[in-house]
Structure 1
């Protein structure tokens, strides 16, 4: 059974649309989480440090604000599809840290502190890191131009 060009084009468009939806979903979740931490910290990015200290996160004055900024900027980057391989790996690592340091309850715990969400975010982040942004992301436009510039420069 052979696939026609129209079939392969349809599959490619479907794949790119699914990647777009996955990126938007992940980005919205990350931005919303950053906003939630910001709000819990009294509307102050510096106030996130004490929240991290309560959870026993190392260097909370640095890691708290850095985490909020990363989740916001990384969420926006996912939505627009820029730096998806790098941001995806960093988000996955961030979620592993959240699992180890904060979401320590057993799976499906009634205290709402289980690791299910952070595990799913980490896995989706890794999938997007290895698949890339698809044609509906800025990486699709930027990466070929960067490769062309390197080739033209003789690298």
Structure 2
């Protein structure tokens, strides 16, 4: 691809971004599903043990963001909002579950939280052309505004 910039709208870029959205989205879906299977009460108890305020409400929010946000990331729906919500969820996971732990350890390290949060944020703002957003009003290209006349 000599001399060709990889940018949104390029089939290769769109394909690679879609693969990344699927991979990261599936991880979020799996973490949300794990909380769904445990139940809100058990998730809330786990959050309470970490000092999360309003643990049952936080559990419901975590389930909605991880499971619903993971699905939204995969299909490419409301990508900037989805990316920010998933990244914020990972900030919360770091603050309440990993703060003060070393970066790379077998238990308690925050490398997964860091990778998921930054990937979700990046994909939220560079989601590619193979996204549901592209077909919704906020994702459609608008015609260029007419140029204003120059004043001499």
The TM-score by the shorter chain falls in which range? 0.7 to 0.9
- Alignment partner of 1:138 is 2:132: yes
Q: What TM-score, normalized by structure 1, do the two folds share?
A: 0.79
Q: Do the aligned residues in 2 keep the contact of 1:46 with 1:65 (CA within 8 Å)?
A: no
Change (3 A) 1:15 1:8: closer
List alignment gaps of at least 5 residues for structure 1: 149-155
Whole-angstrom CA distance in 1 between matches of 2:54 and 2:114: 23
Which has a greater percent of helix?
1
Moved beyond 6 Å, runs of 4+: 145-148
Over aligned residue pairs, what C-alpha RMSD do you find? 2.4
Alignment partner of 1:102: what SS?
helix
Pick from 48, 53, 67 the counterpart of residue 48 of structure 2. Answer: 53
Match of 2:65 among 70, 74, 77: 70
Aligned residues: 139
Mapped pair 1:109 → 2:105: yes
SS in 2 for 1:46: helix
How much has 1:8 moved relative to structure 2?
A: 7.1
The TM-score normalised by the length of structure 2 is: 0.81
Q: Deviations over 1:85-144 (max 9, x none)?
A: 11001111110111111123211123x11100000011101211221x222110111135
Larger RCO (CA under 8 A, 6+ residues apart): 2
Question: What residue number does 1:20 align with?
Answer: 18
Question: What residue is the counterpart of 2:115 in the other structure?
Answer: 120
